[in-house]
Amino acid sequence: MEREPETDPIIDLIPAMVWSATSEGMLDFANQHFLEFIGAPLEEISGVGFYKLFHPDDMSHLASEWHDIMASKHAREVVGRLRRADGQYRWCTLRQKPRLDTEGNVVRWYGVVLDIEDRKQAENALKETKTALAASEENLSLIINSLPVLVWSARPDGSADFVNKSWLDYAGRPADQILEWGFLDLYHPDDIPGMVDIWKRDLEHSDHTVLKGRIRGADGNYRWFYFSGRKLVDANGVVRWFGVNIDIEDLQRAENALRESEAALRESEHKLNLIINTIPAMAWSCTSDGRLEYFNRNLIDYVGLPSEEIVGFGFYRMFHPDDVEPMRMAWDDIVASKKVVL
């Protein structure tokens, strides 16, 4: 004679909450492990009394699921919170299976309840971590895309795998036309050979790169940029390069203007010096305290003294010994009074 499973004492030794119900879904058995978990006798939860074990927020959902399962006669896993003997609600999974007669009618329902609170907490913690990570990534993306510089990242071979919004806005192109090696189409043709040589050299032999070059913007004009990048290796040994391109067009123009100005000044000084050295007179200039600091070629040729011997107050050597002291006194008076004496 076949014995009903719930009457077997082995059922009480199973480390799971085992139960059975009538074909109408009325609970009529719970093993010892189940009763110890909820801290109540079978009489309190039999029939539809088991509903009071559910968390109030889960009761409607679990009751609806149970009626759908009974109507469909198809078992499926249901998750909800059950009250433990200490009053705490713990997440559990409810699994069931019908026993059918030869005509396919449900004779009884059998099932188990498994405590998954620890797994649920781990899932929630993981979900919170993912949510926090997503928020962090969103904030980071917002920051990177708000920076007023062209931010990029590249693979170990030097091909680009990321450009920020500022890059896209400046170039006026979609990312797929800039990534990989597409960015080279935007560099000034005269700059590409040198820039690529430096980039490949640093990829192979360095952990950082610095260079300058011109990039064509959406308006078709080229602007000078300062490129700076650094190689990073993550915990898994994956190598990537991260960097920025900073617009230095205005600075470059200022440097070019200064360089041109300095060149013009040198040319002007050269012409002035040529003029002064060719005029038929002995020209000179002194500091505010009366020291000789400049003299033209005619003066040197006339006195025949080395230039280092007449600079400063050495110029008195040019005068006749009898005239040195009167000249010194006269010159001191001129320097002190700042008035020319003829």
Please, are residues 209 and 198 in contact by the beta-carbon 8 Å criterion? Answer: yes
Please, what sign has the CA dihedral across residues 185, 187, 191, 196? negative
**From the centroid of its chain, how far is CA 16?**
49
| pLDDT (0 to 100) of residue 133 | 82
Q: How confident is the model at residue 18 (pLDDT cuts 50, 70, 90)?
A: very high
Which of the 8 DSSP states describes residue 25? -
**Is residue 14 pLDDT above 90, yes or no?**
no
Looking at residue 340, its pLDDT comes to 67
Between residues 172 and 313, the one the model is more confident about = 172
The residue with greater pLDDT, 317 or 9, is 317
pLDDT in the model for residue 8: 67
pTM of the model: 0.50
**How many other CB atoms are there within 10 angstroms of residue 269's CB atom?**
10
Q: Is 339's pLDDT higher than 50?
A: yes
Question: Are the beta carbons of 196 and 184 closer than 8 angstroms?
Answer: yes
Q: Residue 55's pLDDT is what? A: 95
Which pLDDT belongs to residue 268? Answer: 67
Q: Mean pLDDT throughout 16-44? A: 93
Q: What is the pLDDT of residue 2?
A: 43
Q: Whole-number mean pLDDT of the chain? A: 88
pLDDT at 3 over 50: no
What lies within 8 Å, CB to CB, of 44 at 6+ separation is: none
pLDDT band at 277 (very low <50, low <70, confident <90, very high): confident
Q: What's the CA gap between 145 and 163, in Å, rounded?
A: 9
Mean predicted confidence (pLDDT) in 108-135: 89
Tell me the pLDDT tens digit for each residue of 162-201: 999 999 999 999 999 999 999 999 999 999 999 999 999 9
Q: Mean of the pLDDT values across residues 148-167?
A: 95
Q: How far apart are CA 122 and CA 146, in angstroms?
A: 35
Residue labelled with tokens 């009480």: 12
Q: What's the pLDDT score for residue 342? A: 55
CA dist 48 and 68 (Å) reads 16
